[in-house]
């Protein structure tokens, strides 16, 4: 299906088309270009997409957005990044469906994926979403530019690590529903305190369309601050959470045989019973947020419940993988949380580990961008590690020295400088029947460790 024609791209960007062409997708990373794609040749501080035009077309690109001459089919503009944003605005303007913006310190990608699954469940509806974690100043316009014109729903993730970033991104997305999953210590290196993080996340409400709905975490200590941020922009404010005062809250909860949670929830005036496939209290919160959004866009709550029951773990965000230890003799269960980490998400996933059968092993990478509070945040993980009944741990990265000091004499552990060293240690200590949690900031590189351990997965 054609996503953009050369004429439509030129009209959206104010550029000049070299010839007629049509594209079915959009990419700005030449490594991700596939047949029929539009390649946007972005120019950055360290690289220039124009250098990869030949590669992109060799991989099947049908056209490009460029700012200099090329023999390949193209639309020429003055500034390719500005053109990408213009294409995003044009994509948003032509969609008549309901657009949902998602942000938060933790849980935004997982909740975005669960929302997409819930809204895409209906055979009569077409849903679009941000892929991966494309949630920054380039990822959001890319996700918008990929949005088909006939989308009934779009779920777009927005991230930030400085004040003011969401204020701009939300004007591109122009959501009908804006959701904040949670506020937690993340990127604290760039904020004076957690309330400043809440203020920055609250910028998402500034882009709400007339009649829009703001969805706020009821259990957050910053709830009232977020409600105040939403009030000037939202026609309606909905809260979700475990607390009974939330508009969307659980009436009953019980453990499910699969390890997830069976929840009967109050959603406005209705009761809905769902099974949340993923384990952990944080996933109950994510599910309540999904139900709140689904209700706000008049989606089918029963189908949303089915999607939550069938939702699998995401790579890097909770996927459980059966791996074969080096000595053989059986398998161990690896919980892949390698994509990112902050104090709140570390505690949440350690609580999941606590409920797993078998010997508990934790491979924990340092948490980055925490600023001066970093040493205390790392040391404070000692209690959750002990509560998770971790018998042995591999601590990865220089910042983990503070957790190492706090755990001294309490459990067995090794402290290593990087993911490569951690892989060697992990291979030596994992046994059949173990439950192994792998979690750390993305820059630590624990995804490579997961890939190394999963080489013998069953």
- Establish whether 108 is an annotated binding residue: yes
110 is an annotated ligand-binding site residue: yes
Q: Residue 215 and residue 381: Cα distance in Å, rounded?
A: 30
- Residues 149 and 168: their CA atoms lie apart, in Å, by 23
Give the list of residues 6+ apart from residue 100 with CB closer than 8 angstroms, or none.
Answer: 115, 153, 154, 155, 156, 175, 176, 177, 178, 179, 293, 297
Residues 292, 376: Cα–Cα separation, whole Å: 35
Strand 261-267 versus strand 270-276 pairing type:
antiparallel
What is the token pair recorded at 338? 């390698």
Burial category of 386 from C-beta neighbours within 10 Å (exposed 0-12, middle 13-18, buried 19 and up): middle
Compute the distance between CA of residue 23 and CA of residue 61 in angstroms, rounded to an integer. Answer: 8
Q: Cα separation of 137 and 85, whole Å? A: 9
Give the torsion sign (CA, 254, 258, 259, 261): negative
- Residue 262: Cβ-neighbour burial (10 angstroms; 0-12, 13-18, 19+): middle
Q: Is 130 annotated as a binding residue?
A: no
Is 109 known as a binding-site position? yes
User: What distance in Å separates the CA atoms of residue 405 and residue 415, rounded to the nearest whole number?
Assistant: 10
Looking up tokens 């755990």 gives: 407
Both structure tokens of 444: 């630590």
Q: What 8-state DSSP symbol labels residue 43?
A: B
Tokens of residue 426, six digits: 């992990």
Q: Which helix (H) or strand (E) holds 159?
A: none
d(CA 75, CA 183): 42
Task: State how far the alpha carbon of 41 is from the alpha carbons of 26, 57, 82, 292, in Å.
Answer: 11, 12, 11, 39
425 is in an annotated binding site: no
Where residue 235 falls (left for φ over 0; alpha for ψ -120 to 50; beta otherwise) is alpha
**HSE-CB for 351 with a 13 A CA cutoff:** 13
Annotated ligand binding at 106? The verdict is yes
Rounded to whole angstroms, the Cα distance separating 170 from 205 reads 8
C-alpha dihedral, 120 to 123 to 125 to 126, nearest 10°: 60
Q: How far apart are CA 438 and CA 361, in angstroms?
A: 9
Q: Are 301 and 271 in contact (CB under 8 A)?
A: no
Q: Do the annotations mark residue 104 as ligand-binding? A: yes
Binding site: residue ranges?
104-110
Q: Which segments are annotated as binding site for ATP?
A: 104-110
């Amino acid at each position: 299906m054609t996503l953009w024609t050369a004429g439509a791209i030129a009209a959206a960007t104010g550029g000049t088309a070299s010839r007629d062409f049509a594209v079915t997708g959009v990419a700005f990373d030449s490594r991700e270009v596939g047949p029929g794609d539009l390649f946007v040749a972005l120019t950055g501080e360290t690289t220039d997409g124009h250098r990869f035009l030949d590669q992109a077309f060799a991989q099947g690109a049908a056209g490009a957005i460029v700012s200099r001459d090329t023999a390949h089919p193209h639309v020429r503009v003055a500034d390719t990044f500005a053109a990408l944003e213009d294409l995003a605005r044009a994509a948003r303007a032509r969609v008549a469906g309901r657009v949902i913006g998602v942000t938060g310190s933790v849980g935004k990608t997982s909740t975005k994926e669960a929302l997409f699954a819930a809204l895409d469940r209906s055979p009569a509806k077409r849903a679009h979403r941000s892929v991966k974690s494309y949630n920054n100043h380039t990822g959001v316009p890319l996700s918008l530019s990929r949005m088909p014109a006939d989308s009934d729903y779009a779920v777009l993730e927005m991230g930030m690590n400085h004040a003011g970033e969401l204020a701009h991104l939300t004007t591109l997305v122009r959501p009908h529903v804006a959701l904040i999953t949670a506020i937690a210590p993340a990127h604290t290196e760039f904020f004076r305190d957690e309330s400043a993080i809440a203020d920055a996340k609250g910028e998402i409400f500034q882009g709400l369309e007339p009649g829009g709905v703001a969805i706020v975490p009821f259990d957050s200590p910053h709830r009232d601050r977020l409600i105040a941020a939403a009030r000037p922009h939202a026609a309606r404010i909905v809260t979700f959470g475990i607390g009974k005062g939330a508009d969307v809250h659980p009436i009953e909860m019980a453990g499910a045989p699969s390890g997830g949670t069976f929840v009967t929830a109050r959603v406005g005036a209705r009761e809905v019973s769902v099974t949340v496939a993923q384990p952990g209290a944080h996933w109950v919160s994510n599910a309540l947020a999904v139900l709140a959004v689904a209700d706000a866009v008049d989606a089918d709550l029963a189908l949303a419940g089915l999607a939550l029951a069938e939702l699998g773990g995401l790579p890097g965000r909770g996927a459980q993988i059966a791996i074969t230890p080096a000595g053989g003799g059986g398998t161990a269960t690896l919980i892949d949380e390698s994509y990112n980490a902050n104090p709140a998400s570390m505690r949440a996933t350690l609580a999941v580990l606590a409920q797993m059968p078998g010997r508990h092993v934790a491979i924990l990478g340092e948490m980055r961008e925490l600023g001066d509070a970093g040493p205390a945040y790392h040391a404070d993980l000692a209690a959750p590690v002990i509560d998770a009944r971790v018998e042995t741990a591999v601590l990865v990265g220089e910042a983990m020295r503070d957790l190492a000091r706090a755990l001294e004499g309490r459990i067995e552990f090794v402290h290593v400088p990087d993911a490569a060293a951690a892989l060697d240690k992990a291979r030596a200590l994992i046994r059949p029947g173990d439950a192994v949690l792998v979690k750390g900031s993305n820059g630590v590189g624990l995804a490579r460790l997961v890939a190394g351990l999963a080489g013998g997965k069953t």
